[in-house]
Amino acid sequence: GQYYRDSGITRQTQATKTWLAQLKPQLNALSHVSSKPSSLASYQRFANTVVETYDAKWAEVSKPRRANAKFRLYCGNKRVVAGFWSKLIKQAKKRWPDRIPALAYGAAGFSSSGSIGCRGVPVSQMLKEAPRQFPAGGVVMVDEFRTSRVSSAYSNPSEALRGQPPENFRWLRPVYSGAKRSQVSGLKCSTSNNVRFYDRDVSAALNIRRCAVGPGPRPTELCYWDGRPAMPKLGQPGQEWVYLPDKALLRKWR
């Protein structure tokens, strides 16, 4: 939330809604046609609607305020990201003045634009700015494989043959809501004893640190193994969904 407020995205979103209110008839007309029609007649209706609304839309998007807003957001995003890393490094130096700050960054290639009901995060921009703020060689890229699926607590796995993982790892099992009939949002997982929920983001951050700092090589439970698909895996004890009986709570909330 702070990133969206400080960079001006929240304020600009409201301004954009006000600007688009003048194009409500054109946008309403476009909403009734599809850009991927199933017949030639449907495509003809779509093309005619685009031609009819083109002049009004172009007159709005070509105004100087649009370009100014885009440049303002670009500068605001860079300022907020740079300020975040700068503040983080200052806090680290204040706490550990005799150490050189370093960053373990997850090498995940997911989209930063967000999805329905979820806000995007500036993943690429954070990574571009980090080498400018940290010392040379201070940014370490870490493979995020299983970092959000295994508890960050040290499990001290027993010795195993090459390619054969131990079975006593503390899996974080995905939670399935019985009321919503879908996976619980917020990247929450159940602990191995099914007593409380665990934040996958926190688990991933701590596991990434384990991989980068050590001691020793990458922990065994965070390595690749043959024949071990990603969870959930029905029929495999300890790897299937954890069903949350929350239908009664949902009725109470309503």
Lowest mean pLDDT among 132-141, 166-175, 191-200: 191-200
The pLDDT tens digits for 194-248 are: 555 667 788 888 889 988 987 778 887 788 776 665 665 666 665 666 666 655 4
Count of Cβ atoms closer than 10 Å to residue 98 Cβ:
5
Quick one: pLDDT at residue 187? 59
pLDDT (average), residues 54-58 = 93
Quick one: pLDDT at residue 104? 93
Q: Using alpha carbons, list the distances in angstroms from residue 51 to 30, 36, 54, 58.
A: 11, 16, 5, 11
For residues 229 and 180, give the distance between their C-alpha atoms in angstroms, rounded to a whole number.
Answer: 26
Quick one: pLDDT at residue 248? 46
The pLDDT tens digits for 15-41 are: 999 999 999 999 999 999 988 888 999
DSSP 184: P
Q: Is pLDDT above 60 for 101?
A: yes
Collect all residues with Cβ–Cβ distance below 8 Å to 48 and sequence separation of at least 6: none
